[in-house]
Amino acid sequence: MTTDEIPDPSKLTLQTRLNGNVVQDTTTDLLITAIPELIAYISTICPLVPGDVIVTGTPGGVGAKRTPPLWMRPGDTVEVEISGIGTLRNTVIAEPD
């Protein structure tokens, strides 16, 4: 991926689906700190290299904040999609004993 592939990082859509049902749907322009500012600040603390991931938190719509609460269970499929980038898909597994 190159920076040319995402001309404006503040115009991306983020969507999370649990078993095909949308549970989070937002855009990057709603972040408290703009992506270029995040990158600039983090770069003052540590060098960023290809493959690094910057985790900023999560939008509303998670577990305990839902009515009724919604929790992932073993066997569930979680998809996180970012427009212009792609979809990460994982199956939830039970925590080992």
The model's pTM = 0.80
pLDDT tens profile 18-57: 999 999 999 999 999 988 899 999 999 999 998 888 888 8
As a whole number of angstroms, the distance between CA 82 and CA 13 comes to: 6
- Taking a C-beta distance cutoff of 8 angstroms, is the pair 49, 42 a contact? no
